[in-house]
Amino acid sequence: MKTLLLLLAATTTMVAQQPARLLGTITANDGKAIQVKSDHGQETLVLPTPQAKIQKVAPGERDLSKAQSITLADLQPGDRVIVRGSTAEGGLLADSLIIMTARDISQKNDAERQMWRDRGVFGVVESIDVKDRQVKLRTRVGMETKTFTITTAEKTEIKRYAPDSVKFTDAVASHLDEIKKGDQLRALGVKDEANSRLTAERVVFGTFRTFAGTVTSVDAAAKSLQLKEIDGKKTLTVRATADSTVKAVPPQMGMMMSRMAQMGGGGPMGAGGGVQGGGPMGGGMARAGGSGPQGSPGGPRTGPVAGGPGVGPGGPGSFRPGGGPPDIANMLDRMPVADFASLKPGDTVIVASTLGARQDDYTAITLLAGAQPILDMLAASQQAAQMRAGAGLSIGGSGGMGGGMGGGEGGLSGLGIGMMP
């Protein structure tokens, strides 16, 4: 707060320069000025002019005639704000501040998430029939896999995630014929659970990739790193944004996974049991709606997705009794958040990303550090499966849920990207 006060003192000599607009989150308020962090991470001092209009609107509301006048004292850290004014030395002079409170956003996000759970379905595209406007979607309900038929109409809103972006606000209008097999898709509409059918009002989909590698260099200031893919063939650049989630495998969990790997795929995992799941890799995209921060209904997900694997009989993140595979998706979801700056050369990471505009440059949705024990455990389980099927070890690939790294039995198929609640 001392920094804010010093900056505020400097504003007494501010000279307005040119019109400016700022969208971000309030991080501090001393009663005279606020500090705002943009979605790109830049901090800006905002000083309202004596004539500034400060208004509160409900999340998603576009009609300012419904706005409520408030005072600067009402603004709280975490509130979203759109500032209009003019640039000045040391910050921004504000003529207008439009506020969405953190509390209102949270309440609407909760309602949106519940709506998608109740009226939505999430899964991996199996087939598309453009003529009949239908999509076959493979979903997970508890321990079962089932196929939903999604029927669209001319009025159905269809969007897809943009390359190099993890925000729903960047999703672009799309068409049914752009959806392809292996894409992850969520549809909202009238659901007939008994007959596994849904008439869609809204559809959002994306093409994702999950890959692993060894970090070769880190630029903490730019929040980017380079890694060598696990097969050693390619060097990739991975970038993190304010919307990316960075997590790490706790040392104790890593030791447990290493012991499992040494068992050669037997023991608690069962003989050749694959690694299953269907939820996002600890956060996922979780941005779909158009009302919360960056237009999302809820921000990063922190629980099993609708249509995901849910919680196994042994509890969240547990090893299932009866020789079944561990619920990796739940395990990952409960791993602690880590600091990007803590990454260093030699670390093994798993990255979940949208497909970028360049094949060697990715924006991370989720980055999991300390991932070597997971890869060892998956390799051990795959080796057991190969003894039965004669298949080759698969560590790399694309797709996300159901595809992931090395889709199929024993593959990293449970580390797909969940796009919504």
Q: What is the DSSP string of 109-151?
A: HHHHHHHHHHHEEEEEEEEEETTTTEEEEEEEETTEEEEEEEE
| pLDDT at residue 348 tops 90 | yes
| pLDDT at residue 19 tops 50 | yes
Question: Quick check: helix, strand or coil at residue 341?
Answer: helix
For the entire predicted model, the pTM comes to 0.62
Residues 410, 175: Cα–Cα separation, whole Å: 34
Residues 95, 83: Cα–Cα separation, whole Å: 8
Q: Could you tell me what percent of the chain has a pLDDT over 70? A: 68
CA torsion sign, 324 to 329 to 334 to 339?
positive
CB 279 within 8 A of CB 329: yes
Question: Quick check: helix, strand or coil at residue 177?
Answer: helix
359 or 247: which leads in pLDDT: 247
Query: For 187-222, what is each residue's pLDDT tens digit?
Result: 999 999 999 999 999 999 988 888 899 999 999 989
Look at residue 180 in the predicted model and tell me its pLDDT: 93
265 or 176: which leads in pLDDT: 176
Name the nearest CA neighbour of 122 among 103, 153, 145, 154.
145
Look at residue 391 in the predicted model and tell me its pLDDT: 38
| pLDDT at residue 316 tops 80 | no
The model's confidence at residue 15, banded by pLDDT at 50, 70 and 90, is low
Domains by residue range for the chain, with CATH: 2-100 (2.40.50.140), 105-206 (2.40.50.320), 208-389 (2.40.50.140)
Rounded mean pLDDT, 19-24 = 92
Highest-confidence segment of 66-70, 161-165, 361-365: 66-70
DSSP class of 359: T
Helices (H), 208-327: 251-262
Name the nearest CA neighbour of 413 among 319, 318, 325, 299.
325
Residues 260, 163: Cα–Cα separation, whole Å: 37
The model's confidence at residue 308, banded by pLDDT at 50, 70 and 90, is very low
Look at residue 264 in the predicted model and tell me its pLDDT: 62
Highest-confidence segment of 72-76, 245-249, 273-277: 72-76
Question: Quick check: helix, strand or coil at residue 235?
Answer: strand
* Cross-strand pairs, 229: 213
DSSP class of 242: T
Look at residue 112 in the predicted model and tell me its pLDDT: 86
Look at residue 133 in the predicted model and tell me its pLDDT: 97
Rounded mean pLDDT, 221-243 = 89
Rounded mean pLDDT, 343-353 = 92
| pLDDT at residue 394 tops 90 | no
**Least confident among 38-42, 44-48, 68-72, 153-157:** 38-42
| pLDDT at residue 319 tops 50 | no
Mean pLDDT of the chain: 75
Look at residue 141 in the predicted model and tell me its pLDDT: 75
Q: Could you tell me what percent of the chain has a pLDDT over 90? A: 44
Look at residue 318 in the predicted model and tell me its pLDDT: 33
Show the tokens assigned to 69. Answer: 């006048």
| pLDDT at residue 102 tops 50 | yes
272 or 122: which leads in pLDDT: 122
Look at residue 120 in the predicted model and tell me its pLDDT: 94
Look at residue 17 in the predicted model and tell me its pLDDT: 65
Look at residue 146 in the predicted model and tell me its pLDDT: 92
395 or 232: which leads in pLDDT: 232
Look at residue 285 in the predicted model and tell me its pLDDT: 31
Look at residue 243 in the predicted model and tell me its pLDDT: 79
Q: How many CB atoms lie within 10 A of CB 205?
A: 23
Show the tokens assigned to 410. Answer: 């024993």
Rounded mean pLDDT, 52-57 = 96
Look at residue 273 in the predicted model and tell me its pLDDT: 34
| pLDDT at residue 116 tops 80 | yes
Torsion angle in degrees (nearest 10) through CA of 311, 317, 318, 320: 50
* Cross-strand pairs, 44: 36
**Least confident among 296-305, 321-330, 343-352:** 296-305
| pLDDT at residue 159 tops 90 | yes
